[in-house]
Structure 1
């Protein structure tokens, strides 16, 4: 019997929609909790003023691409944990965790060197000297949280592979409160703390990332299910084959994430050339789109699991349905957020910049324009995210990384630069370029999934 016909008929779309939604919602909540950390930072730094918000945007535009690349690379440990758990290889789980930490350490070392020289890098890119110096002060504190965050990611992948993501969600929710209190204390000098301004926000970020790692570590060393692994035993013993395996699986995923994160980081540096007001507006619009993107990102993770499960069981038609349903869910939500962005723009901006402050008027006007452009590309941004998740379910990561790079950097970045500088649209042109890149990636990734699935169906039918 062929693989195609291993099931009498594909499952119904209602069943798949229910299964995808059930799997996606805790993942979505986890992603929303993650982005809430940076949202609190943006809101409180925005209270300091547009200049400080602009400097923080430059700083995070250096840190975030490195962070996203590391998280993407370490996503390989989730699949490796799952294989070891399924085969009941306790030592394999411990070795994967150990090498995940090794990869995190080896990744962070060159990143710290790069970030330490952030002021020189920003000046080379033509940024305002005051903004570059203020951003560098932020980076040189916040960068030390990169390693704790990477190690937390490895531990979170471990508990998720055991189908127990709730602990990570609880930790992230607690971290939001810790971050808010630390920001309020260290930025403005409350609770007896010194008023450190922008540097206080960076210190609060470092504190919360260390808290997350400590809390997740305490959970895995005290929980009965994880104690049996002796997870931190023989930590210094190398396992180079496993280390290389993490790199081999994870680098294409990391590069895919980096291609998009790098595009948004480069857009911040381009917008920064047009002054602090436009850069502050960019920060507001970027944070809004980032929050909205967390839902499609959670659906993306669910899509990887649903498509992968169906393919592992040899149910090709079910895998095709799972991919299409996931795309429908992600794009459907993005359509709703696009409508909110378009019709409630000024109230949204008011969360970040005080609408009654005359000094904010210019930044607010730019933010309104940028968010309305972002509303237009919400749909394709969701489509490319879920499209990438569907392909990961097929273990297809290298070609999607290339397609994403072409969409973002060969099409999107040059389009943004042309519209901003040659056509004179400045920051609005940069955001239009983002729309071009995301649209290209969306159609390329969705079409690749459809082509691969139909090719698999034809091959299965030929062997029937």
Structure 2
């Protein structure tokens, strides 16, 4: 059974306004479940913190450090295998029956997932040594090592699930990703409940039990995707795992060409915020705590434009494969407007109700939290200001990925985040009285520079030769 063309010819007399409305409906239908899956994934991570926090500060520190390292590696490798998304979209946009092309792309993406996963596992095997090298306390490093080793077993299942998520989303069934991520939330909650404290007849493995729960959750997600793909006739017709041993090195090279810059871009952006945390820690515990709380809400709000950016990659990629220049412009412009519009709403909420937001994380009226809350409210003011640019850079980057343009956006990200971004943060944070507020201004500067340059590149896509012939 074939799917309908992504960009059917408009009926006679159709107006551009009607076509934009149609694109808006298609974009929302794709972006909403992807954003929902991102938000649920945040809840999956939060479950680990809730259970491990009851084991004490040492266990929580070991878990937080390990998850930070593992998350950075996983996020970047997900970007690496995510190079398959624009390729799949372009193949489907070019031909409705691109069964062989999609199968070959998925096959080589799976190869790449295994190779990247083994690399991550090798790094995680040196977890304790890495913790000691970064100056962590020996007791915390000793607990982090075994935890990280177990957690690394989730790498390959997670990467394969990410590839299959792109596959079902490109075929217009992104709601499946939301449902499977919701399943992951349930499995992880039950797993932590069982293996951390020994409930439901399971052994009480403490900190390591939380890592076991994460591994089981990754396997449950992968099993769910495999079951859906095998059960649905539309997915099954692509025979994704047929002749999995056959190589297609040119396609593998294409994925590296697109995926490696995406991974580097993710590392650059993650490095900006991780670096800011280290800078904040040098100022004091209250500043670091306020930074952590404010960043948690900013990260929560970011999941929506991040989902819109993922949808933009697919919608722009479909139009790119169809060589429909007008549809490329509509898809990207609608996505950018949607992302900025949502972040404008969150900016207004932050400006109007900063202390209400604090109630999501701590008691702002408790005297013990006074200093931390004061810093967090200051930082939220800056977060409100950069929401528009954070949303813009996420969606503009996703739109450019749909054009398979990733190398120059990578250079923009590395420059913007690490030269004006971190440079401004260091100067204002340590050489002016602004301190933590100055560090957050540095974050804003980095986001503004990257957003403006990516938007400029999108607007000038034709002149820069990014469009199909």
TM-score for the superposition, normalised by structure 2? 0.83
Residue 182 of structure 1 pairs with residue 191 of structure 2 = yes
Residues 397-426 of structure 1: CA distance to partner in whole angstroms, max 9, x if unpaired?
211111111111122122223333444655
Check the 8 A contact 1:47/1:352 in 2, yes or no: no
Shift of 1:440: 0.8
Check the 8 A contact 2:325/2:467 in 1, yes or no: no
Check the 8 A contact 1:419/1:433 in 2, yes or no: yes
Task: Indicate the SS of the match to 1:452.
Answer: coil
| Alpha-carbon distance between aligned partners in 2 of 1:21 and 1:43, rounded to the nearest angstrom | 32
Choose from 217, 220, 230 the match for 2:226: 217
Aligned to 2:86: 79
Aligned to 1:29: 36
The structure with higher relative contact order (CA 8 Å, sep 6+) is 1
| Residue range with higher mean Cα deviation, 92-101 or 399-408 | 92-101
Task: Indicate the SS of the match to 1:163.
Answer: coil
Q: What is the aligned length?
A: 455
Aligned to 1:402: 411
Shift of 1:289: 1.8
Check the 8 A contact 1:55/1:131 in 2, yes or no: yes
Shift of 1:227: 3.6
| Residue range with higher mean Cα deviation, 275-284 or 336-345 | 275-284
| Alpha-carbon distance between aligned partners in 1 of 2:379 and 2:145, rounded to the nearest angstrom | 26
Check the 8 A contact 2:312/2:335 in 1, yes or no: yes
Check the 8 A contact 2:86/2:313 in 1, yes or no: no
| Residue range with higher mean Cα deviation, 237-246 or 153-162 | 237-246
| Alpha-carbon distance between aligned partners in 2 of 1:410 and 1:23, rounded to the nearest angstrom | 35
Shift of 1:122: 3.6
Check the 8 A contact 2:33/2:177 in 1, yes or no: no
Check the 8 A contact 2:91/2:318 in 1, yes or no: no
| Alpha-carbon distance between aligned partners in 1 of 2:326 and 2:265, rounded to the nearest angstrom | 27
Residue 17 of structure 1 pairs with residue 24 of structure 2 = yes
| Alpha-carbon distance between aligned partners in 2 of 1:283 and 1:51, rounded to the nearest angstrom | 18
Residue 231 of structure 1 pairs with residue 236 of structure 2 = no
Aligned to 2:448: 439
Choose from 45, 57, 77 the match for 1:70: 77
Residues 107-160 of structure 1: CA distance to partner in whole angstroms, max 9, x if unpaired?
122222222323433443344555545544543332221111001112222222
Choose from 56, 67, 70 the match for 1:60: 67
Task: Indicate the SS of the match to 1:234.
Answer: coil
Residues 417-462 of structure 1: CA distance to partner in whole angstroms, max 9, x if unpaired?
33334446555444332222111101111111112246779999xx
Q: How does 1:82-101 map to 2 (within 5 A)?
A: 82=89, 86=95, 88=97, 90-101=99-110
Residue 167 of structure 1 pairs with residue 172 of structure 2 = no
Task: Indicate the SS of the match to 1:395.
Answer: coil
Residues 235-276 of structure 1: CA distance to partner in whole angstroms, max 9, x if unpaired?
334333332222122212222222212322333344444566
Check the 8 A contact 2:90/2:318 in 1, yes or no: no
Sort the Cα spacing of 1:423 and 1:131 in 2 relative to 1 into closer, same or farther, 3 A.
Answer: farther
| Alpha-carbon distance between aligned partners in 2 of 1:228 and 1:22, rounded to the nearest angstrom | 24
Residues 256-303 of structure 1: CA distance to partner in whole angstroms, max 9, x if unpaired?
222212322333344444566554544433332222111111221233
Task: Indicate the SS of the match to 1:37.
Answer: helix
Shift of 1:330: 0.8
Unaligned runs of 5+ in 1: 1-5
| Alpha-carbon distance between aligned partners in 2 of 1:321 and 1:73, rounded to the nearest angstrom | 27
Residues 165-201 of structure 1: CA distance to partner in whole angstroms, max 9, x if unpaired?
2322211111112222223444455445555554443
| Residue range with higher mean Cα deviation, 9-18 or 23-32 | 9-18
Check the 8 A contact 1:81/1:161 in 2, yes or no: yes
| Residue range with higher mean Cα deviation, 302-311 or 283-292 | 302-311
